[in-house]
Amino acid sequence: MKIAVTGGSGLAGSAVVSHLLETGYDVVSIDRRPPSHPVTEFRLVDCEDLGQVYSAGHGVDAIVHLAAIPRPIHHTPDQVFRTNVMATFNIFEAAAILEIPRVVYISSMSVLGLPFSYTPIRLAYLPIDEAHPGAPQDAYALSKALGEDIALAFVRRMDGKLSAASLRFPWIHTPETFKAELPPFQKDSALGATVLWGYIDTRDVARACRLALEADISGHEAFYISAKNTFAKADTTPLAGEYYPEAEIRSYLSGNQALFNCSKAEAMLGYESQFSWEQYEWT
């Protein structure tokens, strides 16, 4: 099979490309900048341009769509919204026209409204699962929620010829980026509250994407995918009680257990996190 990976030159995308190559797939890396890692094929594409996406999609069997502005910090809200929504629409439009049967859409835990909300988000319960309501406020969260709506709309349009998996990841890191960026968040628990102290290693991201490509899925399914634990050094239960006192704790939380319930991904995709910041050599 030949898999197109949009955003293949990025932090997570490069890990997805490498993992797919290692597991026997041909890979077309699609990005606005060349990759720094080996690929079967690279195509310079602006995913906001439908014609370019059509051209890049010819001959591929599935798409993993990561290309996006990953946070609304260095761009204006309209740039974030337009880029992310149009890129996602174009990917699914191309998949429909070219009859590509599977799209894995990289969504985000931000469908909850976290972490860039203008006013505080009130959570109904913890740990978070796919039934928890979303409450987007900012351009990034809204773009990710609408991306899932786009996926569902195209699945509906194609009437059984297209299936899609939306993977809701928390903060994505390598050991190197974790070491560089996370120490302040580990020293001050309040800084991590808006991301629910959640994270995932890029190698787990890559494996989750492959499993979503291979899974027996019909229609559209959304999945929370995270590490098994938080990046906090404190236990999860008192953190949840302090920063989200309104949230019902629905299950026992052991130690620094993650606040994302990945049981659906485990059951339907066979996903189980393999990497933890506590395993990193620098800890």
* pLDDT tops 80 at residue 38: no
CA distance 248 to 242: 12
In a domain, 242, yes or no: no
Note whether residue 81 is domain-resident. yes
Decide if 247 is inside a domain. Answer: no
175-213 pLDDT, tens digit per residue, is 999 999 999 999 999 999 999 999 999 999 999 999 999
Task: Give the pLDDT score at 73.
Answer: 86
Which domain covers residue 43, as residue numbers?
Answer: 2-173+200-228+259-275
Which strand (E) or helix (H) includes residue 30? strand 26-31
Total of domains in the chain:
1
74 within some domain: yes
Q: What angle do CA 85, 225, 196 make, to 5 degrees?
A: 90
Q: What is the CATH number of the domain that holds 14?
A: 3.40.50.720
Rounded mean pLDDT, 12-19: 97
pLDDT at 5 over 90: yes
Question: Considering the domain boundaries, does residue 235 fall inside one?
Answer: no
Q: How confident is the model at residue 283 (pLDDT cuts 50, 70, 90)?
A: low
- The model's pLDDT over 256-278, given as tens digits with 9 standing for 90+, comes to 999 999 999 999 999 999 999 99
105: enclosing H helix or E strand? strand 102-108
Per residue in 121-168, pLDDT (tens digit) is 999 999 999 999 999 999 999 999 999 999 999 999 999 999 999 999
* Cα–Cα distance measured from residue 20 to residue 123, given in angstroms and rounded to the nearest whole number: 36
The answer to whether residue 109 sits within a structural domain is: yes
Report pTM: 0.97
Average pLDDT taken over every residue of the chain = 96
252 in any annotated domain: no
Residue range 228-239: mean pLDDT, rounded: 96
CA distance 209 to 232: 26
